[in-house]
Amino acid sequence: MRKLAYLALALLIALLAAACGSTSKSTSGSSSTSTTATSCSNKDSLNLKTIDQLTVGTDNPAFPPWFGGTPHKPWQVSDPNSGQGYESAVAYAVAKQLGFDKAEVKWIHVPFSNSYAPGPKPFDFDINQISFTPARAKVVDFSDSYYDVNQSVVVNKGTPIASVSSVAGLKPYELGAQLGTTSYQFIKDTIKPSKQPSVFPSNAAAVQALKNKQIDGLVVDLPTAFYVTAVQVPNSNVLGQFPAAPGGEHFGMVFQKGNSLVTCVNKALATLRGNGTLKRLQQQWLAKATGAPILK
Amino acid sequence: MASEGDRRSDPEVERRSRLLGGLHFEGEGARGVAIALVSTAVFVAILIAAVTQSPGWPEVKRTFFDWGDISNAFPDIARAFVLNVKIFLVCEVFILVFALLIAVLRSLRGPVFFPLRALAIVYCDVARGVPTILVILLLGLGAPALQLTGVPRSRVFWAGVALIFVYSGYVAEVYRAGIESVHPSQEAAARSLGLSRFQALRRVILPQAIRRVIPPLLNDFIGLQKDTALVSVLGVVEAVNQTQIDSAATFTFGAYLAAAALFVAITIPLARLTDWLIARDRQKRQAGGAFA
Amino acid sequence: MSALHLDGVRKSFGATEVLRGIDLELEDHEVVCLIGASGSGKSTLLRCVNLLEPLDAGRIFLGGEEITRRAADVNAVRRRIGIVFQAFNLFPHMTVLRNVTLAPRDVLGLSRAEAEARALELLARFGLADRAGEYPDRLSGGQQQRVAIVRALAMRPELMLLDEVTSALDPELVAEVLSVIRELAEGGMTMLIATHEMGFARDIANRVCFLDDGQILEQGSPQAIFSNPTEQRTQQFLERIIEAGRL
């Protein structure tokens, strides 16, 4: 009987080893990839989840200045369907380039962590202030930049941190960032504070902690910083923005790995950049986001 | 068979089987164990085959089970885990004491003690009924927002208070079960000797009550260890928050496995410690010790 | 002034009246045995004397002092009375020695050394000194019951109440417990004993009380009660006992 038991155990171990070792690191090929360069202007030949519909994902609540307009259920704070706000406007501009009119764009709620979970994505692309990083690009495909990002720091007026004028001056303070943004990494790599920074699961928690003076400064991208100071935290202001790192940080739309649609979207972005649309939209929606002093 | 009988009572076999969590390998039992092992192996084999042959497996394997990701994430998470350990060690001490107080209040008999008893009952109902995360948010974000002088702002402090508040409700009920399981004749004997209610509780009832509920107390303690992760909703970077940070940065989930390994690693020695405590108590009573 | 005086004691549990007017007096050094059928109220009577049960009517006096008055210090009263139950009720998480020294130390304030000396002396007197370091579940029933008696004696009570202390024991263990009680009686301890051991009662009791349906139907010397009971119900009870070979 003992021998039978050992045999069973050996069988089990062998199977486990086989499972762990066998499969090679193949990229997922779940959605069909078109072979050669598609004609991007023909929307019927595009790789879409639903025919004649562009499914775009973003998180809820949708915050200004990335989105605007009065929200309708289930959206909160702003409405992606409104076309107002920078990301909403860019999405519709790209859609137009691809041959979709406004009614053919469908917005769905995709929580941040769902946008990169394995398996087939529920969207054609996701637009949600997601920064490109090489590590992330191993798991999903990013479009080219639709906005080059500068990080900035929001502080309460009249607090000691409000008189800081350099990056080094921020070191002794308790800083915070929102989960999923590159701001936390930015704090650790560039500011290198002496106190452990905080990371909040939601915008609401981060903002409340700043109001409560449980953190001294909140590091967010510059456009978001202006929304925070204008609407969310009274008596706060944008202390300053940080100069862009070499190569810069940029937001890109997120696609399923291997989805050929990204090529067409990049073409659309190139067109929009070339004809000044992107710049015009930035001036329209992100104008305030240039007025903060640069901290060095 | 004579040999089986000997092995059952062999203290060395007893000791080894106790360490294995009470598994016994002897005689007829061995056949049963072998059958169990074989059928488990077959079932697991089928499960593994089903999983690894599924179309999405390569991508899931890459994002969840990549050894490189897991080992990269591990040091930061281990460092952050120290905070979880500190929180649950400190909180558990307060919980054990505070919950005992609540349980004792609840056990007071007589009409004059009704307000205290009622207070204890309401406390246990509320503490167990309200979601822990809500209490943490209320106390961690809400209490400092009142901006009363002298009220600490520390989020770890308020999260600790919230955990103590909630868990004391559960642990008080566990104590109460223990107290009620002690036969009333024990209290009668103690009171008959002239001991006061409090002395009887302290010397006779509680020592017996607490010994009986050590396993469920440990259960609640293990639950507390995991609930220390809730402090992350306040932004504090402990193990689970660090896990989420890592996951969001790499768009993979291997970090979660690293965190899981840490939590399990803490649980196992604690469970064995409890087994040992119980066995030692039983042994002491059966073998006879030196003068008390 | 008597050692113990019960005056018109009544006790009900819910709708059932268990003690229906008990009048009883014990002098110092007297040994009184309570006999009667199960349910006649013997245990309840003893528990009332020890203030474990509140009375519905009547009063109890210990050494002339009314112990059932509202302002009485219950714990102080219980210090003066020792009670031993049918089910020993030793504390299982303490050794024999600790069982015996617990109350002297915590209630009487004796030091550990004093309490242990007193305990060991008592245990030795009743042949239990070598068991002092054991836990109760290692002892036989007879040994446990003797320890329970020692535990009560360690408080140096004025009065000992024994509630059917041999009823739960195997027959061969009964004798050792009875010999302890006999020794106490010979030593002059005032005792109120509820028992089924008729032969023993006849031997050591100064007085026997027959309890029937919540009242003391008849009382007198052992000779009077066992050989010449006057009440019919007493006779019936004794006949049943004799039939069972217990007398």
Domain boundaries, chain B: 2-16+23-52, 75-285
Most C CBs within 10 A among B183, B192, B285, hence the mutation to make, goes to B192
Please name the residues between 176 and 235 in chain C that touch chain B, using a CB distance below 8 Å: none
Query: Is this model's pTM higher than 0.90 or not?
Result: no
CATH superfamily to which A151-241 belongs: Periplasmic binding protein-like II (3.40.190.10)
* pLDDT value at residue B5: 47
Superfamily of domain A43-148+248-290: Periplasmic binding protein-like II (3.40.190.10)
Out of B34, B48, B141, the one facing A205 most closely (by C-beta) is B141
Q: In this predicted model, which residue has the larger pLDDT, C241 or B241?
A: B241
Q: How does residue B147 score in pLDDT terms, banded at 50, 70 and 90?
A: confident
Sequence-ordered list of residues with C-beta below 8 angstroms from that of C187, at least 6 positions apart, any chain: none
Contacts of residue A170, Cβ cutoff 8 Å, sequence gap at least 6: A153, A161, A164, A191, A193, A217, A295
Residues of chain B neighbouring C97 (CB-CB closer than 8 A): 291-292
Task: Say yes or no for a CB contact (<8 Å) between A198 and B141.
Answer: no
- In B, minimum Cα distance to A186 occurs at B249
Question: Which residues from chain B sit within 8 angstroms of residue A249, using beta carbons?
Answer: none
Shortest CA gap B101–chain C (Å): 21
Query: What is d(CA B67, CA B73) in angstroms, rounded to the nearest whole number?
Result: 10
Average pLDDT over residues C150-154: 96
d(C-alpha B213, C-alpha B220), whole Å? 11
**What is the C-alpha to C-alpha distance for residues B263 and B279, in angstroms, rounded to an integer?**
25
Chain A contacts of B138, Cβ < 8 Å? Answer: none
Average confidence (pLDDT) over C77-81: 94
Q: How many CB atoms lie within 10 A of CB B243?
A: 26
* CB under 8 A, 24+ apart: contacts of A281-288: A281/A86, A281/A89, A281/A90, A281/A93, A282/A86, A282/A147, A284/A86, A284/A89, A285/A65, A285/A68, A285/A84, A285/A85, A285/A86, A285/A89, A285/A223, A286/A65, A286/A86, A286/A147, A286/A223, A288/A65, A288/A223, A288/A226, A288/A230
Task: Look at residue B12 and tell me whether its pLDDT is greater than 70.
Answer: no
Of C79, C132, C135, the CB nearest to B194: C79
Fold of B75-285: MetI-like fold (1.10.3720)
Is B in contact with A (3 or more beta carbon pairs below 8 Å)? yes
In chain B, residues with a C-beta closer than 8 Å to the C-beta of A176 are 235
Q: What are the residues facing A141 on neighbouring strands?
A: A255
Q: Quick one: pLDDT at residue B22?
A: 54
Share of chain C above pLDDT 70, in %: 100
Strand, coil or helix: what is A72? Answer: coil
Residue B24's pLDDT is 54
- Residue C141 · residue C168 · CB < 8 Å: yes
Mutation target to probe the B interface, by most B beta carbons within 10 A, among A27, A59, A112, A116 is A116
Q: Which amino acid is located at A205 in the chain?
A: A
Q: Where in chain A is the domain with CATH 3.40.190.10?
A: 43-148+248-290, 151-241
Report the length, in residues, of chain B.
Answer: 292
Q: Is residue C6 a contact partner of residue C49, using CB atoms and an 8 Å limit?
A: yes
pLDDT score at B291 = 38
Q: Which CATH superfamily is domain C4-243 in?
A: P-loop containing nucleotide triphosphate hydrolases (3.40.50.300)
Report CB contact under 8 Å: B193, C103.
yes
Sequence spans of domains, chain C: 4-243
pLDDT at B118 over 90: yes
d(CA B214, CA B4): 32
Q: Average pLDDT, whole number, for chain B?
A: 87
DSSP B234: G
Determine the average pLDDT of the residues in C218-222.
92
Give the residue, A28 or C114, on which the prediction is more confident: C114
**Displacement of CA C85 from its chain's centroid (Å):** 7
Print pLDDT tens along chain A (296 aa).
566 666 666 766 766 666 555 544 444 444 444 444 556 777 777 889 888 899 999 999 999 899 999 988 889 999 999 999 999 999 999 999 999 999 999 999 999 989 998 888 999 999 999 999 999 999 999 999 999 988 999 999 999 999 999 999 999 999 999 998 889 988 998 899 999 999 999 888 999 999 999 999 999 999 999 999 989 998 999 999 888 767 788 999 999 999 999 999 999 999 999 999 999 999 899 877 667 888 88
Long-range Cβ contact pairs of A77-81 (< 8 A, separation 24 or more) = A80/A56, A80/A107, A81/A107
Residue for token digits 């000044």? A276
User: Which residue from B191, B269, B265 is spatially nearest to B226, judged by alpha carbons?
Assistant: B265
Question: Is the per-residue pLDDT at B2 higher than 60?
Answer: no
- pLDDT (mean) for C65-87: 92
Cβ-count burial of A230 within 10 angstroms (0-12 exposed, 13-18 middle, 19+ buried)?
middle
pLDDT for residue B45 is more than 60: yes
Q: Does residue A5 sit at the B interface (CB-CB below 8 Å)?
A: yes
Q: In the predicted model, what is the mean pLDDT of residues C217-221? A: 92
